[in-house]
Amino acid sequence: MPSSTQSTTPNTDLRLFEAVHLGSLRLQNRIVMAPLTRSRALEGDVPSELAIEYYTQRATAGLIIAEATQISPQGKGYILTPGIYNDTQVLAWKRITDAVHAKGGHIYLQLWHVGRISHPSIQPDGALPVAPSAIKPEGKSFTADGFVPMVTPRALETSEMPGLVEQYRTAALNAKAAGFDGVEVHAANGYLLDQFLRDKTNQRTDEYGGSIENRARLLLEVMATVVDVWGGDRVGVRISPLSKFGDIDDSNPEPLFTYVVESLNAFNLAYLHVIEGDTGGTRDVAGGFDLQILRRLFNGAYMANNGYDKALAGSALDTGHADLICFGRPFIANPDLVERLRTDAPLNEADPATMYGGDAGGYIDYPFLGAKK
């Protein structure tokens, strides 16, 4: 409530900066840092020392979702991305989570398997990437030789599914050992779990293909396994129902994602992270559907993402469209994004040349408010 000296004019921005409970965590605001691939991991998929500074600079976010992190060597799709499948990686991540916690922040890890969005030069022993079906994606993979065309993947055998789910269990256990506050399962943007969901990429005839229930089977098995490790209140999931990122699509996304979200309620998750529209592109997708259907169906917190600024975020929170707002690219160039949004300060512009790969430049050297030029 406003004090007697404050204006009584409604301020729809205020909810963006208020503390909120997310599962068993109390976040200092409703601003979430989206998982952002920056391609600065070391040999062996180990997070670098620079990442400690990078994430602690941004610890004023209510929640940080750390960059997409492969659950196994097979799950890797781009060079210089981190993993969470061995002890060396766990120790490196532990230094990051300890530093974020020392700053009063909270941090989740996003669990990632890219599926077909990879290249043999990145895969163990030069193997083909795996996918629901042997369908070649359009696009290029970021390799040691630069961007090269992707290849036709190998279709996973039914017998491989339990082992794949176990990769998620191991990664979830490792994330807990690394000191994260929770994990987000990446089921969006045309990567493996999304590939199983969509009928453009899943043309299987076994129990993991065909009907909506079958195509959602792997995701739900993964969620059950990760929740078994963490408990539902420390687990989120990311979906992108209308995105075509990763050369993906579905002939009828509304019943598919309605079923998925209704099924996810069984796990009592902390949140549902939804990319609204096309990833990194328009929020209005031709032939799409009203994603608020999913918001109404889901029993937990709804995290909205894609093209949000302060005004749109404030409106979404004020109208009940969302509970949390995820900001991606603005966090790259603005480590103090929360304060800049709070004070309506101008934002730094990100340098595209330093977005992926490199050193400290364009990573930890973007200026804070008041910093000398």
Catalytic residue numbers, as ranges: 191
Helix or strand run (H / E) with residue 45: none
CB atoms closer than 10 angstroms to residue 46: 18
Query: What is the DSSP annotation of 202-222?
Result: ----STTSSSHHHHTHHHHHH
State how far the Cα of 45 lies from the Cα of 84, in Å rounded to an integer.
Answer: 8
The answer to whether the beta carbons of residues 319 and 21 sit under 8 Å apart is no
Question: How many residues are present in the chain?
Answer: 373
Distant-in-sequence contacts of 291-294, Cβ < 8 A, 24+ apart: 291/241, 291/242, 292/321, 293/254, 293/258, 294/241, 294/257, 294/258, 294/261
CB atoms closer than 10 angstroms to residue 176: 17
The answer to whether the beta carbons of residues 305 and 275 sit under 8 Å apart is yes
